[in-house]
Amino acid sequence: MKILLLLQVSFITILVVFSNFTSGQCLEDQKALLIKFKNDLTFDSSVSTKLVMWDENSIDCCQWSGVSCDEEGHVLALELDDEAISGGIEKSSSLFHLRYLEKLNLAYYGLYLYPVPIPREIYKLANLMYLNLSHASFNGQIPMELSRLIKLEILDLSGGELKLERPDLKTLVGNLANLRELYLDRVNISLKGSEWCSALSSSLPQLRVLSMRDYFLADFTKLTILSVRLCYLFGPFPSKIFQDSKWQPTSDILSRFL
């Protein structure tokens, strides 16, 4: 009976140890960085569903909402979209020490009381493959440092008040050959159409999705001719283009969108 009991205890012990190893229990340094990051932020705890649940007394931060880890306990993903954050990222260095991070989602970041640019330190997250800053209340020039994230496959900068002047679009995407999806809705791009088209086609051989909604066509109020021959465009033609414009599309043009 004693031998059987010892065998059962030993088996349970081995099972627990193995379970902890394969579950990817959070490393202490990763947990400390997450807690520091949370403390640096300003957010509405009555609206938050993720950050508000991060508890430093919890043993495994890999189980926290919005956090994913690898089997060794390194933080691989932070999904903090729509978390009612209103400040702090621009002054938080702890976020940029999560060097194993592959996915960062800050979409629908809260409203700032003052203009905040995308932090230049973002280049330190060299393993990022997914970066979503859409509708995140960042504004101003998109920093050159983004071009150093050469592993990026999905980049979403849409919906804010961002611009691409120096660096321009060509410089930004020059090193991002792995990009498969690029979202630049409402981004103010300084390059001419022929230049940014050339920059994208020559620099992004893997690109499958390109979104530039609310970008440029409707702003050309004196436009009288629009040629899209042999562009292989499809889908509904944006009605906003007709507003305040002096041109009318021919049936040949519209047929390419049907």
* DSSP track, 42-97: EE-TTT-SSGGG--TT-S-GGGSTTEEE-TTS-EEEEE-TT--EEE-GGG-SSGGG
How far apart are the C-alpha atoms of 173 and 196, rounded to whole Å? 10
Q: Can you identify the CATH homologous superfamily of domain 24-217?
A: Ribonuclease Inhibitor (3.80.10.10)
Q: What is the mean pLDDT of the chain?
A: 79
pLDDT in tens, 14-35: 444 334 333 468 899 999 999 9
Q: Give the model confidence (pLDDT) of 97-128 as tens digits.
A: 999 999 999 998 765 556 688 999 999 999 99
Domain spans in the chain, listed from the N-terminal domain onward: 24-217, 218-258
What are the tokens at 142?
């998109």
pLDDT grade, residue 87 (50/70/90)?
confident
At a CB cut-off of 8 Å and minimum separation 6, what does 42 contact?
A: 85, 86, 87, 88
> Taking Cα atoms as reference points, which of 132, 180, 178 lies closest to residue 159?
132
Residue given tokens 């009976």 in the structure block:
1
